[in-house]
Structure 1
Amino acid sequence: MSKFHLNIKELVQGEFKINKVNLAFVFQVNCPGCFIYGIPIVNELYKSFNDKIGFIGVATAFEDFEYNNEASLKLLLESGELVGETKKYYHSNYGISNYTETLNFPVAFDNIVSAEEFINSNKIELICSAIPNFENFPPKEREAVVQKVKEFYSEIPLIAETFTMNQLRGTPSFVVFDDNYNVMAYYFGHQNKEILKTKLEDLLVSF
């Protein structure tokens, strides 16, 4: 992952202003871990750094599309209403159906397209170009790889572009990038807030 591909619909909340250092928090609404281990950390980082760093939350979907959608995101942002497994987790553990913490940072929904639209664009070639030494493969081998990737994505009915273009491992994901969208750090899963904070502080000093 050398470039961060931010392919989103319009912002649902706030305004994203790109800066020398930026943090994208990629999550799913139907992902309890994103709420337990992600949102509180990003809220704290946003409080500490929002005057120096660009922040954007990207709600995505690679499964459970009936829950991971823009309508569910809007319910979350407007009233804290939870859905799916996230709702089950908070109801069974805390007896609540609404998230008590607000998302204080700008938030958008990932751009969702059909498999046909995705594989007929130049995005497959961009994904393949991230393969080490892909440009040095013999032409027939490059063509074969592109075809295999197209065949893979043709079996997926709906594709979230930011999640897929960046080949993220899952959610929550934290991507740190500069004002030219060069990726400077990537973290997946449960992260220690201090590790992220230290990384952001170090990058701010280097610019």
Structure 2
Amino acid sequence: MSKFYLNTEELVQGEFVPKKVNIAFVFQVNCPGCFIYGIPIINNLYRLFQKDVGFIGVATAFEDFEFNNEANLKLLLNNGTLVGAVKKHYETNYGISAYSEKINFPAAFDKIVPSAEFLNSNKIELMCAAIPNFSNFSDTEKEILVKKVKSHYSQVPLVGETFTMNQLQGTPSFIIFDESYNILGFHFGHISEDILQRRLMDFLG
């Protein structure tokens, strides 16, 4: 069973204590879909399940670093300040420049490191080792794959560790995991709240 890798800066809001069942909501401050679909869903799930489920929102960055940063996360949490494409969406469609829905769940910013630092650690090897059947690859195949991954990340200025180490496809992403950080379920993109509710209830038993 795959492990959920969680490495963030200090919590910006609330407290996260792992429980039998937990859900991480990975989003970007400059991601309209995260605000339109993701945050309302997690807010409501938090209202319904906070006594039994651990919640952690992880604001990350894999692009638009001038908008996707911890300073803008704090502004969002404190007074609903919107930035970039999200601000444009709400101004254009609703004539507002602040997010009206208060974010209630605990939230932190992803650990962001320079790509050189990331490449000089052992994290690339750990990522590759988590790939299904990687252990069955020949030594040459393993070496080629590691080199390809390192080449890719050498082209980016910064790396969000939670986003990258879990090889997420984008935002919003929803990861359900247990108290030992074993991943129980994963969803990317627009998903029905009913589906997530049922999955949480199933894992709670």
Tell me whether the two structures share a fold, i.e. TM-score over 0.5. yes
* Counterpart position of 2:140: 140
Q: Deviations over 1:62-113 (max 9, x none)?
A: 1100000001101001110100000000011111000000110000000000
Residues of 2 paired with 1:122 and 1:48: CA distance? 39
Unaligned runs of 5+ in 2: none
* Counterpart position of 2:113: 113
Q: Secondary structure at the match of 1:41?
A: helix
* Counterpart position of 1:101: 101
Residues of 2 paired with 1:174 and 1:78: CA distance? 23
* Counterpart position of 1:123: 123
Residues of 2 paired with 1:114 and 1:168: CA distance? 19
Residues of 2 paired with 1:60 and 1:79: CA distance? 19
**Displacement of 1:193:** 0.4
Q: TM-score by structure 2 length?
A: 0.98
Residues of 2 paired with 1:3 and 1:29: CA distance? 25
Residues of 2 paired with 1:91 and 1:147: CA distance? 44
* Counterpart position of 1:8: 8
Matched AA of 2:13: Q
Q: TM-score by structure 1 length?
A: 0.97
Residues of 2 paired with 1:110 and 1:83: CA distance? 18
State the 4+ residue runs in structure 1 displaced beyond 6 angstroms: none
**Displacement of 1:138:** 1.6
Q: Secondary structure at the match of 1:29?
A: coil
* Counterpart position of 2:163: 163
Percent identity between the two aligned chains: 65
* Counterpart position of 1:177: 177
Between the two proteins, the alignment pairs up a number of residues equal to 205
**Displacement of 1:15:** 0.4
Unaligned runs of 5+ in 1: none
Q: Secondary structure at the match of 1:109?
A: strand
Q: Secondary structure at the match of 1:55?
A: strand
**Displacement of 1:189:** 0.7
Q: Secondary structure at the match of 1:103?
A: coil
**Displacement of 1:132:** 2.0
Q: Secondary structure at the match of 1:97?
A: coil
| Aligned residue runs from structure 1 range 13-32, under 5 A | 13-32=13-32
Does 1:68 pair with 2:78?
no
* Counterpart position of 1:150: 150
Matched AA of 1:55: F
Q: Secondary structure at the match of 2:103?
A: coil
Residues of 2 paired with 1:151 and 1:32: CA distance? 30
Root mean square deviation of aligned Cα: 0.9
* Counterpart position of 1:186: 186
Q: Secondary structure at the match of 1:51?
A: coil
